[in-house]
Amino acid sequence: MSVISRYGYDNFLVLIGIGVLLGISAYALRHSGLISIVLGVGAGLIVLFAFWFFRDPERSVPSCHNSSRAVLAPADGRIVEIVETHEKEYLDSPTIRLSIFLSPLDVHVNRYPVSGVVEYVHYHPGQYLVAWHPKSSELNERSSIGVRTAYGKVLFRQITGVLARRIVFETKVGDTICAGARFGMMKFGSRMDVFIPPASTIKVRIGDRVRAGETIIAELP
Q: 93-97, 165-169, 180-184: which has the minimum mean pLDDT? A: 165-169
Q: Which of 68, 144, 190, 200 is catalytic?
A: 190
For range 86-95, the mean pLDDT:
94
Other C-beta atoms closer than 10 Å to the C-beta of 29 total 16
CA distance 25 to 167: 33
Q: Are 191 and 159 in contact (CB under 8 A)?
A: yes
CB distance 158 to 195 below 8 Å: no
Distance CA 176, CA 139 (A): 29
Check if 137 is active-site: no
pTM given for the model: 0.85
Alpha-carbon dihedral sign for residues 171, 177, 181, 186: positive
| DSSP designation for 116 | E
Measured distance CA(146)–CA(94) in Å, rounded: 15
Angstrom distances, CA of residue 59 to CA of 85, 123, 191: 31, 27, 20
Residue 8 clears pLDDT 80, i.e. is over it: no
pLDDT for 161 equals 65
Please determine, for residue 1, whether its predicted confidence score (pLDDT) is greater than 90.
no
What is the separation of C-alpha 158 from the centre of its chain, rounded to a whole number of angstroms? 6
Using CA atoms, how far apart are residues 106 and 178, in angstroms rounded to an integer?
23
The mean pLDDT of 26-32, rounded to a whole number, is 84
- Give residue-wise pLDDT tens across range 136-168: 566 678 899 999 999 999 999 998 865 556 788
Number of neighbouring beta carbons within 10 Å of residue 52:
12
CA angle 10, 123, 76 (to 5 degrees): 60
pLDDT of residue 189: 65
Q: Which pLDDT band holds residue 121 (cuts at 50, 70, 90)?
A: very high
